[in-house]
Amino acid sequence: MTLSRTTRFALIGKSGAGKSTAAEMISSFHGARRVSTGVICREISHLLFGDENKASTQKIDDALMTIDQSIFLKAALRQIPETDSICVDSLRFKSDLQIARDQGFYVIRIVAQEKLRNV
């Protein structure tokens, strides 16, 4: 099923709760493009350090977050036309949530019991 109008979804939840799986399902069902803010950080890491390992991406995350907590969400959204239906796989901060709300996203909380989380 593809939506006849632009629909935007954003997921929130703890690490390992199933946000990526839910994003895949939403994207498939609604014909929405999946957006991952982590991709931006990994691309920068690869450009600067030649790898995408956790230590490198953490350095970039720490440095850029001092500029703006929502820098990765803003960067990801800049690359997507406002007319595209999308599903952002993870909002990390209150400022991300506010951006999503301001832009009319459907915000979905993904919850899983601690023993079921994949961390």
pTM: 0.84
64 neighbors 71 (Cβ within 8 angstroms): yes
90 neighbors 18 (Cβ within 8 angstroms): no
**Which pLDDT score, from 0 to 100, does residue 3 have?**
45
The CATH T-level fold of domain 8-36+69-116 is: Rossmann fold (3.40.50)
C-alpha dihedral over 108, 41, 57, 60, to 10 degrees? Answer: -110
Grouping H, G, I as helix, E, B as strand and the rest as coil, residue 57 is helix
Going from the first residue of the chain to its last (119 residues), give the mean pLDDT of each consecutive group of 10, the final group possibly shorter. Answer: 73 92 95 92 92 90 94 94 94 96 96 81
Domain residue spans of the chain: 8-36+69-116
